[in-house]
Amino acid sequence: MTDHLHNTALPPQLAAAYRDQLDCRFPWVGEVFPDCIAKAAASLSPAGMSAYIDAARTLCKLGRGEEPVLIFLEEWPDIGTALGDSALEPVMQMVQHMQRSPNGNTIGGFLQTLAPVTRALQSRALLRDYLNTLRDMMERTTGSIHGHHQTHPAPAYPTCCARHPLYYSA
């Protein structure tokens, strides 16, 4: 964290309100939430903060465990700062699309790769194109037994959304 974030303190009432709004009982989420919310409050607008907490709550309720929530809480403030509050809506639409498909297990990987992708793209329009490309690939490669219901995850999708060491240099 940068020094200015260490000096940022949320009023206890506001931090408690955000925690109540999150309504997530995963233990590790509770551990990292104070630091994540302080970082987010230092960089997101009030509307962006509310959307951030709502999105984390949605991720918590998906039934995919705490990993997607943790990744989102830690990564979104930087993404939101770079691309603006409105970038969250198409990202969460993609998450919901994945959740309704056999590819739901890759939500964590998708969220984990989102930060380096947005750093490279630096544009909401390019992010939209990237999300459309991912959606198209997922739709075209997700398998079906009977031809009309998708029943098997896309074989390339987990690889596409996997953490690649090339993008994560220290």
CA nearest neighbour of 59 among 131, 113, 110, 15? 110
Q: Which amino acid is at 165?
A: P
Torsion of CA 159, 162, 163, 165, to 10 degrees: -10
- Cβ–Cβ under 8 Å, residues 101 and 137: no
pLDDT in tens, 47-85: 999 999 999 999 999 999 999 999 999 999 999 999 998
Q: 144: pLDDT confidence band, cut at 50, 70 and 90?
A: low
Largest Cα span, the chain: 58
Residue 103's pLDDT band (boundaries 50, 70, 90)? confident
Rg (CA), the chain: 17
Spell out the domain ranges in the chain.
8-167
The model's pTM is 0.80
Q: State the pLDDT at residue 108.
A: 93
What single DSSP character describes residue 109?
A: H
CB 158 within 8 A of CB 121: no
